[in-house]
Amino acid sequence: MTKLPAVLVLLVAGMPLAEGQPPKTDGVTIETIKDSDKPVLEYRHGDDLFKPYVRKFFSPGGVNVLRDEVPDHPHHHGLMFAVAIDGVDFWAETKTSGRQVYTAFGREDSPGGLPWAGWLGEWVEWFAPSGGRKLASESRTITVYRSQPLGASLLTWRTELRAGGGRPSIKLSGSHYFGLGMRFVQSMDGADDFFTPAGKSKTRLGEAAGETVRGNERLVRGKWCAYAAEADGKPVTVAMFDHPSNVRPAWWFIMAKPFAYLSATLNLHREPLTVEAGKPLALTYGVAVWDGRVKADEIEKLYARWLELPAPTSAANKP
């Protein structure tokens, strides 16, 4: 994606930290990015959370597709990024789980004339549950684009993950669904209408059809994966995009029952990934939501356009 000059220096709440107890921030905050005064995205972060995440993501027509605070899976939060690092699980939220703590944050709302409505960036430290060991540092940027010229709400999630605490390297691993995961609102459960550029099927999804892991849980391949369902009685289509610059092509984790979930994974349950000091892991994904059911060719057009869209850079992309 094309890079533009930096447009904002982060508002610093704290610098990248050495070993010690995870820092405290000033409560839980919800950041909202709007397009023409309509909310597109809500981002939640703060000191008593296990991880920061996108809490809501709205279609151009105002339909939210993300679910948070789920009784049966309280660790499922809208759109979130989590893996295991050196054996510490950052996906779950138990006494033995790690925590992602933000220590610097910044944002900008575009006044107009730019293709994005706004963006936010933060520095996130990944701490082990005991002793305050810092395992990794992450710079995270989320850009929200204007929906009118695209016909859909669109965001780009960019993460750069670095070995922390003076470690020569860290090892990423985890379950088959670890990565950038998205829990859909309850009314979207059960549709099982997932498809990739190769097409769709109840049992196979064409291109490198993948496998059934357990029950309704599958792993499939493709440069994007989409899900069509009804959110609170209104048809929507949601797609996740995999950027070709990512270290590995995405394996998409999909399931529709008993709840609907889509995750961009790096196949870490089979192939753990080592990140060496001084060589950060850069990952870029897109998420789009349309009102109504759209066909694969329309998703393909937006995917191609997404690859060409400029993205603001920020101090969040720097160590």
217, containing H or E segment: strand 217-221
What is the reported pLDDT for 25?
Answer: 52
Q: Is 224 exposed, middle or buried (0-12, 13-18, 19+ CB in 10 A)?
A: buried
Whole-number Å distance between alpha carbons of 293 and 78: 21
Pairing of strands 281-291, 153-163: antiparallel
pLDDT (0 to 100) of residue 12:
35
Strand duo 311-313 + 3-6: pairing: parallel
Determine the pLDDT at residue 8.
33
- The span from the CA of 209 to the CA of 222, in Å, is 9
Distance CA 208, CA 222 (A): 8
Find the DSSP H helices in the chain: 296-308
Beta strand pairing call for 194-195 and 224-231: antiparallel
User: What local confidence, expressed as pLDDT, does residue 69 receive?
Assistant: 86
310 φ, ψ to 5°? -70, 150
What span, in angstroms and rounded, lies between the C-alpha atoms of 227 and 256? 9
Q: What is the pLDDT of residue 10?
A: 40
The pLDDT of residue 119 is 95
Please state, in angstroms and rounded to a whole number, the distance separating the CA atoms of residues 293 and 291.
7
Q: Give the domain ranges of the chain.
A: 23-317
Single pTM value for the model:
0.89
pLDDT tens series, the chain, 319 aa: 433 334 333 433 334 444 444 444 567 789 999 998 999 999 999 878 999 999 999 999 999 999 998 988 989 999 999 999 999 999 999 999 999 999 999 999 987 778 999 999 999 999 999 767 999 999 999 999 999 999 999 999 999 999 998 999 999 999 999 999 999 999 999 998 999 998 874 444 444 456 888 888 999 999 999 999 999 999 999 999 999 999 999 999 999 999 999 999 999 999 999 999 999 999 999 999 999 999 999 999 999 999 999 877 553 444 3
23-317 fold: Beta-galactosidase; Chain A, domain 5 (2.70.98)
